[in-house]
Amino acid sequence: MKKTKDSKVETAADDTVATDTADTGRRGFLRGAGLVGVAAAASTLAAPAVHAQSGPIKWRLQTYSGAPLGAHVIKPQIEAFNKAANGEMEIELFYADQLVPTSELFRALQNGTIDAVQSDDATMASPADVAVFGGYFPFSTRYSLDLPVLFDRYGLNEIWKEAYDEIDGVEWLSAGAWDPLHIFTKDPIRSLADMKGKRVFGVPTAGRFLARYGLIPVTVPWDDVEVALQTGQLDGVAWCGFTEAYEVGWADVCNYALLNNVTGAWCGSYFANTDSWAKVPDHLKELFKITIDQSHYYRQVWYWGGEADLRVNGKKMELTTIPAEEWDTVVKDAEGFWEEIASQSDRAGRVVETFKEYNRVMENVGVPYRYS
């Protein structure tokens, strides 16, 4: 049975440790920010979206990302869909906070304020018990290809669908991989001790994990990150990989890049409002899913090539490394973190067991799947 729209379910984002402000989220951290814009748009957004009975179906889709990044992670897909829909349907794309704060995306989608969302589960404050695995779950993947394999061949697709089938008003459509998680700072990190006290723009689950080493996740609007770094409100970002840091300008204000990565890929998904999805004819639903797959492929290539190129040829940040013997303790600590999360629900336990099984196969198969 689906939960009602007013059901309250505790999410991992609620457990985020010591923050300078509340509601750390991967692409938003925007509660309390951007509210003036939301108020100004209240008359437009107060009622659920209603499609006309004649003419093209019109959707509004909001992504977690700002415009510079959105030009790669979603804009090509929306343009392709609108062209291929041939006038039968049109999706209007909105970037981070343009309609609602990112931390309110799930509720806005559920209520029909917007028709579709591209985000990770945790950042959009999803009440699903799998939300803790959205974004960056420490050491769950090593490479970006691991994530779609986990969903398509190891059963995470079915688990995510099962979780969202229990929640009214929202359809989970597809998950894909983004970039690995690195830490970029103004001062160098060459040991775990160097993390202590550094205020970083971070992500919910990974931020919760890294806080045990002294990093302090800080909430600021996505568009304000660069200024916050310049003014000293932030000491760095623990939010993305090299490609994104260069693309959005954070590499211009950070001096150092830590090569030790916390996971191999960010896990993001597409969601639709249930009523909006029901009004779309089957051939356009199929078209939308096809262009989602196209977007997943585009990002795989863009991030994979970009990460390698910028680590070798990027000149804006000095590369640093925490010694392997010290970083191995972090990897080991993640095992206990996994067990902590697995104990939260039966479904969370099944996801963690899936990660364990996948990693066992990868470790045993060796080259070229794992080199160490």
**CATH level 2 (architecture), domain 182-263+315-346:** 3-Layer(aba) Sandwich (3.40)
Mean pLDDT of the chain: 88
What is the average per-residue pLDDT within 143-152?
97
Query: Of all residues in the chain, what percent carry a pLDDT higher than 70?
Result: 85
What confidence tens digit (pLDDT) does each residue in 184-234 have? 999 999 999 999 999 999 888 999 999 999 999 998 888 899 999 999 999
The alpha carbon of residue 296 and the mean position of all alpha carbons in its chain are separated, in whole angstroms, by 13
Q: How confident is the model at residue 45 (pLDDT cuts 50, 70, 90)?
A: very low
- The architecture of the domain spanning 18-178+267-312 is 3-Layer(aba) Sandwich (3.40)
In terms of C-beta density within 10 A (0-12 exposed, 13-18 middle, 19 or more buried), how is residue 231 classed?
exposed
Predicted model pTM:
0.84
Q: What is the CA radius of gyration of the chain?
A: 20
pLDDT of residue 1: 46
Per-residue pLDDT reduced to its tens digit, 294-343 = 999 999 999 999 999 999 999 999 999 999 999 999 999 999 999 999 99
pLDDT value of residue 3: 43
**CA separation for the pair 134, 182 (Å, rounded):** 17
pLDDT of residue 263: 95
108 close to 97: Cβ distance less than 8 angstroms: no
> Nearest CA to 26 among 84, 66, 61, 54?
66
pLDDT at 221: 81
Per-residue pLDDT, averaged over 162-167, amounts to: 98
In the chain, CATH 3.40.190.170 sits at: 18-178+267-312, 182-263+315-346
Lowest-pLDDT range of 58-62, 144-148, 367-371: 367-371
CA 131 to chain centre: 10
pLDDT band at 162 (very low <50, low <70, confident <90, very high): very high
Average pLDDT over residues 264-288: 98
In the prediction, which pLDDT does 178 show? Answer: 97
Please give the residue that has the higher pLDDT: either 218 or 34.
218
